[in-house]
Amino acid sequence: MQLQLTEFDVQDFIDSLAADIRNMLKEGQSLMYIHKGGRNVKLDENMLKDIILSLLSNAIKYTGARGDIRMRTEKTHGYFILTVSDTGIGIPHNDRIHIYTRGFRGSNVSHTEGNGEGLHQVKEHIDNLQGSIECDSQLNNGTTFKVTLDLSRM
């Protein structure tokens, strides 16, 4: 996949996605977003948008109607860091090694609509951007995904 790098204000970019993001929320859910550090980044906007919307979509989907979703972005020391956290159902420990596999769905999500493509695509985009993704999850206590992109590689 060909990267199309542009320099842009990441906070303005995410604020422009706000309407799309807010329309995904279940009634009673809250979404908090904060940005820290520099705002100008050089990245592929379409890939970043796909990553953000996919991670938030999953957070919203697997979090109850009164749950909290938090997103944080930070530009610091040549890195762009995106963190998405929720208070949802969590990912079973034995499933975590498979979550980026195309078509894989967790053992505790059979009642929830999905095709298992979202995290696979997120991982592909992050690999194309030469970044990394980490997952921390506790059953019934939520999940946090942390994406780190080295801006010096762009």
pTM for this model (two decimals): 0.93
Domains of the chain: 5-153 (3.30.565.10)
Q: How far apart are CA 143 and CA 86, in angstroms?
A: 6
pLDDT for residue 110: 66
For residues 141-149, average pLDDT: 97
Segment 44-70, tens digit of pLDDT? 999 999 999 999 999 999 999 999 999
For residue 5, the one-letter residue type is L
Check residues 98 and 110 and name the one with the higher pLDDT. 98
For residues 126-139, average pLDDT: 97
pLDDT cut 90: percent of the chain above it = 78
pLDDT for residue 106: 80
Segment 110-128, tens digit of pLDDT? 667 766 689 999 999 999 9
Which of 139, 125, 28, 20 has the alpha carbon at shortest distance from 82?
125
Which of 6, 74, 72 has the alpha carbon at shortest distance from 45?
6
pLDDT for residue 109: 74
